[in-house]
Structure formats: structure tokens, C-alpha cells
Amino acid sequence: MVKIIRIPESTMGYDEPINDFQIIIDTPYFQRLRHIKQLDLVFEIYPGATHTRFEHSIGTLHHERNILDRIEKNTGYIFDKEEKKTTQLAALTHDIGHTPYSHAAEFVLMEFGEPDHDTKNVEIIKEMEKDINNIPNIDFDLLLEIFERKNPLYKTIWGLVGADVLDYITRDANRIGRSISTDTERIETYAYFDGKEYGIETKASGSVKEHIDSYLTMYTEEYNRKAASFWKGIIRRGIYEACEQGKIKPKEVWQMTDTELECALIHSGGVAKKAYEKIRNRNESKAFLTIKLEGMSSQEETRGKPIRVFEMPENELMNIVSYFGESIDNVVKFERDVERELSLEPGSATLAEMPHLSMVKAKDVPLYNMDNGWTSLFKEINGLKEIFDMAVQRKYALRVGVSKPYRKRAFEQSDKIIEYLKSFI
């Protein structure tokens, strides 16, 4: 009898036959994903955003099957049994190496010598080799090549029009109640693969454009919105303090769920416990300083609140962001210096988590023209890259916040913090 995992359609679920991968789904590695929220701290903003990486992993398998089937049906490219089954397994397990609270915890662990989640994926897959080899038609070496991005089939999973992104963009939007225009069915219908490159046929270029617009909307207005960025910064500081003091062993965090990490923070005491309590009691940090790209200060809504908005040329702001991106040590040192400069309690200052501008700008997407071969989205639609870049630049900002009682004091001394930030240029 074929087993079915059933998730209600109202939550963007799919009925998937999983008997072929049941041995993997039943492992502690995969079951842990049931207890790791897909959107980490974004659930603090949207009550419906409690879906998990387990749910997303099943959805990614669903989209990967659609993509591979459509490629065979419409292009004539035929995968052998091992290629198809192994790529499906890679899609199912693509998030198996994620930490609790996702990237907020991952970047801290990397500071203490732990790998990033992609490297951890490979480590876990190797540990599961015996179980994996018990699945028919699996090529274990190919599986490692896909995870290590050495085989072009990885693009069908992790690319901008791959199964991973198609699932999480639509699923996340559904769970937070955001209306977006990604048409996954049409994109999958025109999936194209020639053994080396993966993309979408040009006849679906309009749908790809709308999908990338949805992608940017989710990143600029939801994943990296101000409140969520501060929540991530708060939990990042708590994890760092606990690891630094030896209260939490970084290597053990990979085995934890969200709840287990929260418990570890509570038992660590000090700033780590305070970080958890700030989230638990919704005592979030409040921005007192916002650094915007030059010409974009009018895009910031302060609504009379004590928030200093300061503009910087892109190269200078990116130098500061790069400095913070080099090391979590740099971030925590800055937060501690702000606390000393403004005479605040430890754990009161927060640098909102933010990506480098290059990470959130829209990337080009390969398109295939049946008459002329490979081209790309930006070549097909003139000026689109510039439109997308401007949309991201309007939202992009570096924000510094403090606990609510200290906001006015910090605002009045914001010039000191601006000069300090300039020292990183």
C-alpha cells in the first residue's frame, strides 16, 4: 500500500506518495525538521507563519518531481532512473542541515568553528549513507555531487526557478497572507534542461518576471522587514553570549530544535536568557538610527518617532555591511560598544540582521529559446534589472536599535554612533 503524507490544501500542502523515501523521513535527522520553523522569527509578526522545514521539504520534493517530469515530457531529455530518483532525494533532504532559528543561529555557530548549513548537509548525508543505499535506484556519489553543486542538476533545486524557491516563496506568502503573483505551474510546465544548464523556456518569461518580483517582495518586505530583522538580531546575540561563555556547545546546536535551543538560552542565564525573554515578552528593540542608501531617506517612514535617518553612498554603506559580515564578533563588539557609549545594560543594543545588498538584488535567470538557444531574463526584458535593483535599494537599510526605555536617549546621541560606524569604512 502506498503511504500518503497529507497536509491540508489550505496550508499549501500536497498529497505525496512517500513510501519510496520513508526510510529517510523516519530518521531522527529528518524528523527534527518538524520542530524547526521555516521562517524563524518572522512568526513573531505573522501568527500563521508557524510552518516548518519538514513541511517545506515535502513541498520541495513535490515541485522537483513536477520539474523533472515536465522536462522529460516537453523537451525529450530523458533522465536515467538513478538520476531522477537521486535528484528527488536531494530535493527532499535539501534542508536537513539547518540549525534551529535557521541562519540567525548558523552565522553564530560559524564564528565558533562550525560549518555552514550546506557543508552540514553533506556531513549528515554521509552519516545517513547506509539508509540511503537501502533505497532502490539511488546513486550516492551523484547525491553528494548535487549537494556539493558539482552536478548541474542542483540548479533544478536551488536555482531561482528551482523547486526550493518555488515552494518556499509560495508557501511562505500563503502562510503570512501575502498576495504574490508566482505561477509555479506555468514555470514548471516550461522547465528546460539540456544536461548542463537548467532554465525556463522563453514563452514563460512573463511568469518568470512575475516570480522574481514576488521573490524580491518577500525578501524586502517580509523576510528582512524591520521587526523581523531586530528579532533575529536579538536571538543572534543570545546564542553568541551563551556559546562564548561555554553555556551552550556549538556542535550540539545542530541536533537541537527551536524549543530545545530556547531552553538552552533560558538555562544559560545572563544576556542569553534576556534575549529569550525579550522575544517571549515581546520587548523588541526599537530603531533609533537608520542608515539608508543615498537618495533613499524619503522611503523611510518614521511617523514622528525618535529615529535618526542618515544617508550614505552605496560603497560606504557596503563597506560597513561587509565589516559586520566578516564576523559575528564584529557585530557583538559593536553592540557592546553602543551599550557602553550610551550607558545601557548589557543586551540592550541590537544591530538588526541584514544581508549584503548583493545578496538580495535580483539575479538573472537562464531562459531557453527553442529557435535560438540559451538567453536570459534580463536580456529578454530590457531595463528589468534596473527596475528590480531600484525596488531593493528603496527598502535596504542598516538599523541600530535599543530596548524601548532607552530609545530617546539613544536618538539624542545618534551622532556618536554614526561617527563610530564611519570608522568601519
* DSSP letters spanning 32-91: GGGGSBTTGGGGGT-TT---BHHHHHHHHHHHHHHHHHHHHHHH-----HHHHHHHHHHH
Residues 139 and 277 in one domain: no
- Residue 128 lies inside a defined structural domain of this protein: yes
Residues 256 and 135 in one domain: no
Q: Three-class SS of residue 139?
A: coil
Burial of 365 (0-12, 13-18, 19+ CB in 10 A): buried
- Residue 293 lies inside a defined structural domain of this protein: yes
Of 158, 176, 194, the one marking the end of a domain is 176
Residues 247 and 109 in one domain: no
Of 118, 144, 176, the one marking the end of a domain is 176
Point out the residues of the chain with pLDDT beneath 70.
Answer: 1-18
**Closest listed residue to residue 124, CA positions, set 97, 106, 162, 142:** 97
Residues 266 and 415 in one domain: yes
CB 288 within 8 A of CB 402: yes
Domain with 99, as residue range(s), is 19-176
Residues 283 and 414 in one domain: yes
Residues 398 and 294 in one domain: yes
Of 160, 176, 192, the one marking the end of a domain is 176
Residues 163 and 33 in one domain: yes
- Domain with residue 81: its CATH number is 1.10.3210.10
Bridge partners of 200, per DSSP, are 191, 367
- Residue 97 lies inside a defined structural domain of this protein: yes
Residues 128 and 250 in one domain: no
Residues 125 and 266 in one domain: no
For the stretch 115-157, pLDDT in tens is 999 999 999 999 999 999 999 999 999 999 999 999 999 999 9
Rounded to whole angstroms, how far apart are CA atoms 146 and 123?
Answer: 14
Rounded to whole angstroms, how far apart are CA atoms 386 and 198?
Answer: 24
Residue 247 phi/psi, 5-degree rounding, is -75, -30
Rounded to whole angstroms, how far apart are CA atoms 3 and 311?
Answer: 57
- Residue 369 lies inside a defined structural domain of this protein: no
Q: Determine the pLDDT at residue 119.
A: 95
- Residue 170 lies inside a defined structural domain of this protein: yes
- Residue 96 lies inside a defined structural domain of this protein: yes
Q: Determine the pLDDT at residue 338.
A: 98
For the stretch 35-55, pLDDT in tens is 999 998 888 888 889 999 999
Number of domains in the chain: 2
Q: Determine the pLDDT at residue 16.
A: 60
Residues 81 and 161 in one domain: yes
Q: Determine the pLDDT at residue 3.
A: 46
- The alpha helices in 112-225, defined as continuous H runs, are 117-127, 129-132, 140-147, 155-158, 163-176, 184-189, 205-218
Q: Determine the pLDDT at residue 15.
A: 57
Residues 160 and 233 in one domain: no
CB 100 within 8 A of CB 253: yes
Helices (H) then strands (E): counts for the chain: 23, 10
- Residue 146 lies inside a defined structural domain of this protein: yes
Q: Determine the pLDDT at residue 301.
A: 87
- Residue 258 lies inside a defined structural domain of this protein: yes
Rounded to whole angstroms, how far apart are CA atoms 54 and 30?
Answer: 7
Residues 163 and 244 in one domain: no
Q: Determine the pLDDT at residue 8.
A: 41
